[in-house]
């Protein structure tokens, strides 16, 4: 099992109410019963700020990007109260070509441990909405901005898999043959899912906009793919290696 690079996390924003970091891939947000002694983002941030912090949301272990912690129970309550209204944008690369823009509103079934006992347990599902916008199509794949109104477990991964537009590198919901090709030829070692931008109401009033640059491993992977369109690099705010000014 791959491990995250040790060391302090990049801080995107810090004040008396919250701290936002850029989570690297392969780092869990917090410990679980199955892995009680693992290195986790929660403990790293506590060590960095020298005090308790409270996670507001989760990111998949393989995913990277914006991760927010409250610095007090009061701030956590205020942030959670406005969380559904927050704008959450992810970058993801999927197989095949997609429409320019579309929405997926298919309800998603709860996890087994969340189901209520009874004959109707397996039928339980939750509303889920993912809005998608195409950035560019290249190398038989499409870079998308995925925006969430809800936050169900593996929502983007499950919604896109149900549309036969599996995320590249997704070993659970994706296509192994395509994943193997991108790993062997371009070095994609994990899920291409990055929590890119988050816009939320701050407990002290006003709006806070956060952005985590695309993780270095995903940038390096894109750099190995021939003929990535210029609009991709413009969106990411970087210039690919080998290109002049």
How many angstroms separate the CA atoms of 19 and 70, rounded? 6
2 within domain boundaries: no
Tens of pLDDT, residue by residue over 88-100, are 999 999 999 999 9
Residues in CB range of 126: below 8 A, 6 or more apart: 107, 108, 109, 110, 150, 152
Q: Assign residue 104 the CATH number of its domain.
A: 3.30.2350.10
Coil, helix or strand at residue 140:
coil
**Rg of the chain on CA atoms, in Å:** 18
Q: Which of 15, 47, 60, 204 is catalytic?
A: 60
Handedness of CA 83, 86, 90, 95 (dihedral sign): positive
Q: What is the DSSP track for 142-170? A: EEEEEEESS--TTHHHHHHHHTT-PBTT-
Tens of pLDDT, residue by residue over 182-235, are 999 999 999 999 999 999 999 999 999 999 999 999 999 999 999 999 999 999
Question: If residue 230 lies in a helix (H) or strand (E), which one and from where to where?
Answer: helix 230-236
pTM for the full predicted model: 0.90
Q: Domain of 187?
A: 10-236
Q: What is the DSSP track for 200-221? A: EE-TTSSEEEEE-PPPHHHHHH
89 within domain boundaries: yes
For residue 120, indicate whether it is catalytic. no
121 within domain boundaries: yes
């Amino acid at each position: 099992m791959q491990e995250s690079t040790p060391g302090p996390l990049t801080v995107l924003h810090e004040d008396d109410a919250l701290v936002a970091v850029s989570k690297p891939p392969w780092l869990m947000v917090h410990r679980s019963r199955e892995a009680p002694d693992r290195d986790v983002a929660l403990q790293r941030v506590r060590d960095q700020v020298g005090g308790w912090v409270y996670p507001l949301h989760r990111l998949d272990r393989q995913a990277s990007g914006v991760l927010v912690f409250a610095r007090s129970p009061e701030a956590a309550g205020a942030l959670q109260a406005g969380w559904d209204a927050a704008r959450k944008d992810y970058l993801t690369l999927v197989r095949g070509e997609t429409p320019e823009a579309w929405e997926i509103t298919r309800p998603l079934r709860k996890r087994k441990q969340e189901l209520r006992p009874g004959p109707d347990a397996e039928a339980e599902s939750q509303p889920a909405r993912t809005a998608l916008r195409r950035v560019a199509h290249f190398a038989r794949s499409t870079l998308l901005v995925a925006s969430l109104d809800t936050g169900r477990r593996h929502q983007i991964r499950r919604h896109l898999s149900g549309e036969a537009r599996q995320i590249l590198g997704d070993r659970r919901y994706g296509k192994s043959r395509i994943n193997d090709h991108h790993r062997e030829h371009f070095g994609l070692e994990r899920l291409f899912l990055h929590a890119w931008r988050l816009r939320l109401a701050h407990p002290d009033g006003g709006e806070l906009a956060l952005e985590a640059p695309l993780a270095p491993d995903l940038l390096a992977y894109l750099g190995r793919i021939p003929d990535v369109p210029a609009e991709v690099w413009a969106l990411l705010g970087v210039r690919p290696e080998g290109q002049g000014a």
